[in-house]
Amino acid sequence: MAEDPAASLADRLKALLQYPLPQHALSRLTYWLTRIEMPGFKDWLIASFIRRFGVDMSEAVEADPRRYPSFNAFFTRALRASARPLALGRDSILCPVDGAVSQIGAIRDERIFQAKDREFTALELLGGDTDTAALFADGMFATLYLSPRDYHRVHMPVAGSLRMMLHVPGRLFSVNPSSTRAVPRLFARNERVVCLFETSSGPMALVMVGALNVASIETVWAGEITPPHRSGVRRWEYRGSEVELEQGAELGRFNMGSTVILLFAPEWVQWEERYLPGAAVKMGERLATRL
């Protein structure tokens, strides 16, 4: 794994400013603003966002920004199938999102690498669920960061049957690279939704991590999981259900952007060597190969 820089003074100062923020209140405000359907406001907001982040609307099913009823509808826009061809294959594990590799590698001594001098445990990430964490001891992980300009739907890396879902409440620190370097145990502190699947590549956990201004996380089978923000871990069991998703199928979406963490059990997959920290990724690319 490539050596990462330690948090700089600027990183630490930016992170420090986030601690006293009313993170959930700001995210509720974002939730409200991004669903306003007043044409003048939402069209201005969408156009400003496209200019600032250089969004390529030619990839979208609906290329006209004015046709979206709200900013959130634009932000979670569908893409044309040809814009994200799937690297399908019997042994192929697809990248679930557009974004960049934050970190990728093996889980060592039950710990997941976040940045230099920053780690967290799989048990913490999975909301203290010891049985689920045991599945991924000495397994593999990939942390994928979605920037504001990226496509924000999440897709299945491999076909699977849903077995369990957790909603783990927490903080809403930013998950940009600066915060990742500076905030200890960032992904195990932020609010998140854990989805456990049984797949032909062994057990797979896909964790959707919330962040500042990520006003909502939803899945295709349960709809909006958050908000509202609650205390205490919530758990849904799906064993014996018929929630089965094909490879490349939409799993869920971020209403505003964040991070996805993939976990696989040991001796099931091997990451593609070209994906080092900082590498750009697109949904549907081959991220790993089944062993």
Query: Any idea what DSSP says for residue 79?
Result: B
Contact 211, 258 (CB under 8 A): yes
Contact 89, 157 (CB under 8 A): no
131 is catalytic: no
98 is catalytic: yes
Catalytic residue chosen out of the listed positions 174, 179, 216, 258: 258
Nearest residue to 192 (alpha-carbon basis) of 172, 163, 164, 221: 172
d(CA 198, CA 255): 26
Catalytic residue chosen out of the listed positions 4, 11, 70, 155: 155
What 3-state class would DSSP assign to 125? helix
258 is catalytic: yes
d(CA 84, CA 48): 25
**Partners of 92 in the β-ladder:** 289
Catalytic residue chosen out of the listed positions 11, 98, 129, 150: 98
Interstrand relation of 140-145 and 99-106 (parallel, antiparallel or unpaired)? antiparallel
Active site residues: 98, 155, 258
